[in-house]
């Protein structure tokens, strides 16, 4: 069968998610033919994942009927025919609802196919002297073979109709001995690593992903962000995503000589290591930002507002954001006034209400609370939906409030009187104290996130639920300073 020349570069979806068949333009005359076998810019524009191939292999088969497979490998592949024709069969051997799905097609030099990690490949040559090439995005090694998943070519469930019956085909003994589908252990997905898993957000992510074996959690004891050895010891090929929930958040302490060093080490130097790791291994990096990257002179902050931090903490967070922004696959999740499982402003106010203490609380800083369960849910939404990479504001919704307004709400919910909370200006509150400057306006514009289908609930709703859960609002600190 002659090659069809001058096809338009076209993508065709298949019954297996992520497996895409491509028509390739082949240009020929009396001298032979030429094609662009792999053209990153055009193919990525067509929807092919930018899978960063690192190795090019060629398989030559002398006789028609030579059959290889079914092998699911721990990397992505882009396969095309150099000469001759092949019959290809692909079976989804990944964990999930599409496990066992089958797709078959005949390929010549005018076609190519993208096969994601975990989908089983098998090829049968239909002409003598057939060669096909494949690009892969990881280097082959003997150790990697232990991560393969195999399926028997004759599996009755897959029921592949081979052009050359297997009894007449050229097969290896090893391929003949592979298991049937019922005995195959599906290939698990690559893992997500949550760093800083013992903090307020880390705890919320633990709860949200409870039971999901593809998500791995690491507190400071399991992963030291300040150690190059910790990065070198991890096999990053087994991961697809890093969620960085770790940060130095002691706003006032960051203004001291020792605190300044620590803030830069955790919020910038360690983040640079994470960014370098993400770039080198093609990982998605999720990083948590802060309203403190702004000076608060704008009433509502959008994602593209230029940085204007007032203090050391804000400067380190802005620097960390700038570092993460160069990672091709990144989500910067900017939040404000975080409340979760740990010592925080709401717990402090609830404690004061229970003890009938009447505090003075800052009344000229305006923003919204961000509850960690909703930050975690927003992160999962961005990852699960494949939202466009970039920066997203994420706080709870509702009318912006001052810290005094929120404190009064807490007192009322805890059975106290709103009038027990009096207002004081930031200047007056910190008079005579060593404190970092705070942004006056911290309200975040939430439209970009809403456009991706995520709508966080009102802060007032979450606050009511939070204060109502006694075990979570027991006093952990006597500090009434707005949290950072």
* Architecture of the domain whose range is 191-472: 3-Layer(aba) Sandwich (3.40)
Element counts in the chain: helices (H) and strands (E): 13, 25
Residue 472 has pLDDT above 70, yes or no: no
Per residue in 62-80, pLDDT tens?
Answer: 999 999 999 999 999 999 9
Q: What was the pLDDT predicted at 1?
A: 61
Higher pLDDT pick, 147 / 200: 200
**For the chain, what is the largest distance between any 2 Cα atoms, rounded to a whole number of angstroms?**
94
Is it the case that residue 7 has pLDDT exceeding 90?
A: no
Catalytic residue among 22, 134, 239, 466: 134
pLDDT of 147 reads: 85
pLDDT of residue 476: 41
Judge whether residue 483 has pLDDT over 70.
no
At the fourth CATH level, which superfamily is domain 10-183? Answer: Jelly Rolls (2.60.120.10)
At residue 208's C-alpha, the angle toward residues 386 and 270, to 5°, is 70
Q: Give me the mean pLDDT over the 263-285 stretch.
A: 96
Q: What is the pLDDT of residue 481?
A: 42
Question: What confidence score (pLDDT) does residue 475 get?
Answer: 40
Domain ranges of the chain: 10-183, 191-472
Catalytic residue, chosen from 71, 287, 330, 381, is 71
- Mean local confidence (pLDDT), 429-439: 91
DSSP string, 288-343: EEEGGGS-S-SSSB-TTPPP---SHHHHHHHHHHHHHTTSSSEEEEEE-SEESSSS
Contacts of 350 (CB under 8 A, 6+ apart): 410, 413, 414, 467, 473, 475
With H, G, I as helix, E, B as strand and everything else as coil, classify residue 12: strand
What gap in Å lies between CA 166 and CA 169, rounded to an integer?
5
Q: How many CA atoms lie within 13 A of 205 on its CB side?
A: 30
Confidence of residue 139 (pLDDT cuts 50, 70, 90): confident
Helix (H) or strand (E) run with residue 13 in it: strand 10-13
Average pLDDT of span 264-290: 96
Residue 478 binned pLDDT confidence (cut-offs 50, 70, 90): very low
Q: Which residue has the higher pLDDT, 158 or 478?
A: 158
- The answer on pLDDT for 471 being more than 90 is no
pLDDT over 50 at 167, yes or no: yes
Which pLDDT does position 146 carry in this prediction? 73
| Helix axes 372-385 and 200-208, enclosed angle (nearest 10) | 50
pLDDT above 90 as % of the chain: 87
As a whole number of Å, the end-to-end CA separation of the chain is 70
**Annotation marks residue 134 as catalytic:** yes
pTM comes to 0.87
pLDDT, one tens digit per residue, over 20-52 is 999 999 998 888 889 999 999 999 999 898 888
List the Cα angle 454/459/462 in 5-degree steps.
90
- CA dihedral in degrees (384, 390, 396, 402; nearest 10)? 170
Q: How much helix, strand and coil, in percent to the nearest 5, is found in the chain?
A: 30, 25, 45
**pLDDT of 33:** 87
More confident residue, 369 or 3: 369
Please give the pLDDT value at position 3: 79
pLDDT at 20: 96
Q: How do residues 376-421 score in pLDDT, each as one tens digit?
A: 999 999 999 999 999 999 999 999 999 999 999 999 999 999 999 9
């Amino acid at each position: 069968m002659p090659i069809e020349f001058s096809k338009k570069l076209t993508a065709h979806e298949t019954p297996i998610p992520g497996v895409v068949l491509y028509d390739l333009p082949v240009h020929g005359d009396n001298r032979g033919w030429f094609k662009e076998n792999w053209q990153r810019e055009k193919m990525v524009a067509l929807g092919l994942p930018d899978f960063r191939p690192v190795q090019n292999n060629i398989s030559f088969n002398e006789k028609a009927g030579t059959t290889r497979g079914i092998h699911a490998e721990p990397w992505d592949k882009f396969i095309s025919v150099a000469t001759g024709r092949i019959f290809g069969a692909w079976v989804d051997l990944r964990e999930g609802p599409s496990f066992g799905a089958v797709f078959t097609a005949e390929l010549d030099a005018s076609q190519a196919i993208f096969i994601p990690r975990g989908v089983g490949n098998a090829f049968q040559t239909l002409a003598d002297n057939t060669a096909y090439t494949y690009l892969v995005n990881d280097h082959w090694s003997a150790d990697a073979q232990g991560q393969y998943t195999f399926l028997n070519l004759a599996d009755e469930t897959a029921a592949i109709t081979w052009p050359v019956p297997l009894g007449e085909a050229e097969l290896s003994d090893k391929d003949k001995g592979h298991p049937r589908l019922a005995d195959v252990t599906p290939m698990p997905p690559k893992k997500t690593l949550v760093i800083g898993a013992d903090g307020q957000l880390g705890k919320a992510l633990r709860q949200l992903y409870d039971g999901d074996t593809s998500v791995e959690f690491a507190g400071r004891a399991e992963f030291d962000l300040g150690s190059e050895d910790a990065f070198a010891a991890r096999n990053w090929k087994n991961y697809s995503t890093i969620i960085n929930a770790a940060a130095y958040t002691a706003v006032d302490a960051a203004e001291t000589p020792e605190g300044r060093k620590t803030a830069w080490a955790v919020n910038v130097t360690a983040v640079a290591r994470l960014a370098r790791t993400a770039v080198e291994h093609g990982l998605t990096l999720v990083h948590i930002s802060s309203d403190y990257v702004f000076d608060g002179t704008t009433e509502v902050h959008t994602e593209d507002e230029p940085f204007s931090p007032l203090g050391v903490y804000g400067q380190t967070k802005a620097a960390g954001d700038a570092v993460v922004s160069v990672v091709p696959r990144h989500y910067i999740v900017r939040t404000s006034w975080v409340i979760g499982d740990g010592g925080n402003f709401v717990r402090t106010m609830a404690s004061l209400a229970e003890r009938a203490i009447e505090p003075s609380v800052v009344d000229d800083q305006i923003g919204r609370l961000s509850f960690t369960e909703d930050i975690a849910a927003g992160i999962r939404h961005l990852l699960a939906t494949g939202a466009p990479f970039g920066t997203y504001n994420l706080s709870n919704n509702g009318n912006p409030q001052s810290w005094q307004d929120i404190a009064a709400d807490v007192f009322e919910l805890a059975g106290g009187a709103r009038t027990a909370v009096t207002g004081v200006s930031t200047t007056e509150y910190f008079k005579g104290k060593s404190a970092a400057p705070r942004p006056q306006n911290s309200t975040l514009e939430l439209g970009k996130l809403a456009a991706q289908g995520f709508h966080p609930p009102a802060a007032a709703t979450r606050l009511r639920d939070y204060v109502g859960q006694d075990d979570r609002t027991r006093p952990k600190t006597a500090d009434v300073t707005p949290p950072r």
